[in-house]
Homo-oligomer: A and B are copies of this chain.
C-alpha cells in the first residue's frame, strides 16, 4: 500500500492507494495555509496516520505529495508556493521524520496528469496532455510513457502561453495568457461583463439574485438557453480551443484530457471544442487526438502522487 497526498491552497487530501492504484480510503481537510508550513505538515502526518489506521494496513511503501508552486523535486523542497504562501520548505525531510519511508514530491498538475495516465482517461495512451481548467490553468505532459519535466522541473506551464498579445492582464504579470481567457476565473469575468451588457438576461438576473456568478450558475444559465450565457459559452469555448490547438500543433499527442470542475460538463463542453480544434489544427483531422474529460476528478492527483516512485 502507498500514500498519495494532494496538497492544495484550500484543501489537503490524503489517500491510501493500493498497488493496483485504487484509492482504498481518503480523508480531506482544510489546508488552513495561515497556520504555516510546520503546522500543516504536522496535520498532514496526523491525517496520514489516520488513513493508515482506517485501512488497517501498516505496510506503506512510500508517500507521494502533489503540491502547487516551484519545487526542488530532487531535494524535496518547496522553493516557493504562492497558493500555500510557502518559501523554501523542506517538506520531504519533515514528513520523513514521521514515517520511515521514502517521500516523493511533484507539481500538482503533473500528479493529476500521472493519475489520469495510470488509471483514468489517459490510460490507453503513451503520450497524453492533461489540462486542468480551474482558478488557473494547469498542465501535465506525458511523453513516451514518462512524465515530461523539462530541464528544471518547470515545464508544462500551459496556462501561460499567450493567445492575445497585449490582452488581458494575467496573474503572472504577462498580458494575454491563455489562463486569462480560458480558466474558470476568466469565464466568470466574461460572464459578469456580458451580464452587465444585457440586463434583460437570465445571466444578469442570476448575478443580481446571488450577488455574483460562479461556474455552476453560469452553466445553469447556459443550459436554460439564456442568450447572453450562450454567447459567453461560445466565446469561452473558442478561447479554450485556441490553447488546445496550439498544444496539438506543438506536441502531436495521442490524447488530451481536460480536468477541473468544468470537465463534469462532459460532451456538452467537449463536442464543440472538438469541432473547433479539428477545423483549426495545422495537420488536419488525420492527427486529431482523443479529447476526453478527466475520469478521476480530484482523485487523479492522489493516485498520481502515489505513483511518483515509478517516475
Residues of B contacting A286 in the complex (Cβ-Cβ under 8 angstroms): 152
Whether A154 contacts B280 in the complex (CB less than 8 A), given A163-B162, A246-B161, A246-B162, comes out as no
Quick check: is A228 within 8 A (CB to CB) of the other chain? no
Residues of B contacting A143 in the complex (Cβ-Cβ under 8 angstroms): 143, 148
Quick check: is A151 within 8 A (CB to CB) of the other chain? yes
Q: Which of B148, B157, B163, B167 is in CB contact (< 8 Å) with A249?
A: B157
State the main secondary structure of chain A at its contact with B. loop
Residues of B contacting A280 in the complex (Cβ-Cβ under 8 angstroms): 173-174
Tell me, rounded to whole Å, the shortest Cβ–Cβ distance linking A81 to chain B. Answer: 13
What are some 28 contacts across the A-B interface (CB < 8 A)?
A: A127-B150, A127-B151, A139-B250, A143-B143, A143-B148, A150-B287, A151-B252, A152-B252, A152-B286, A154-B252, A154-B283, A154-B287, A155-B251, A155-B252, A157-B249, A157-B250, A157-B282, A161-B161, A161-B246, A162-B246, A163-B176, A164-B164, A164-B165, A165-B238, A174-B245, A174-B282, A246-B246, A250-B250
Whether A162 contacts B251 in the complex (CB less than 8 A), given A282-B157, A287-B151, comes out as no
Residues facing B in A42-63 (CB within 8 A) are none
Interface set of A (CB-CB < 8 Å, partner B): 70, 127, 139, 143, 148-158, 160-165, 167, 172-174, 176, 181, 238-239, 242, 245-246, 249-254, 280, 282-283, 286-287, 289
Nearest 10 CB-CB pairings of A with B: A150-B252, A155-B252, A157-B249, A161-B246, A154-B283, A157-B282, A160-B282, A154-B252, A151-B254, A160-B249
CB pair B242 A162 closer than 8 Å? yes
Tell me, rounded to whole Å, the shortest Cβ–Cβ distance linking A10 to chain B. Answer: 22
Residues of B contacting A173 in the complex (Cβ-Cβ under 8 angstroms): 280
How many copies of this chain?
2
User: What residue of chain B has the Cβ atom nearest to residue A150's Cβ?
Assistant: B252
CA distance A242 to B246 in the complex (A): 14
CB pair A251 B150 closer than 8 Å? yes
Residues of B contacting A250 in the complex (Cβ-Cβ under 8 angstroms): 139, 155-158, 161, 250
CA distance A242 to B155 in the complex (A): 16
Q: Which of B163, B253, B282 is in CB contact (< 8 Å) with A151?
A: B253
Residues of B contacting A153 in the complex (Cβ-Cβ under 8 angstroms): 252
Residues of B contacting A174 in the complex (Cβ-Cβ under 8 angstroms): 245, 280, 282
CA distance A298 to B215 in the complex (A): 52
Tell me, rounded to whole Å, the shortest Cβ–Cβ distance linking A107 to chain B. Answer: 11
CA distance A172 to B155 in the complex (A): 27
Residues of B contacting A176 in the complex (Cβ-Cβ under 8 angstroms): 163
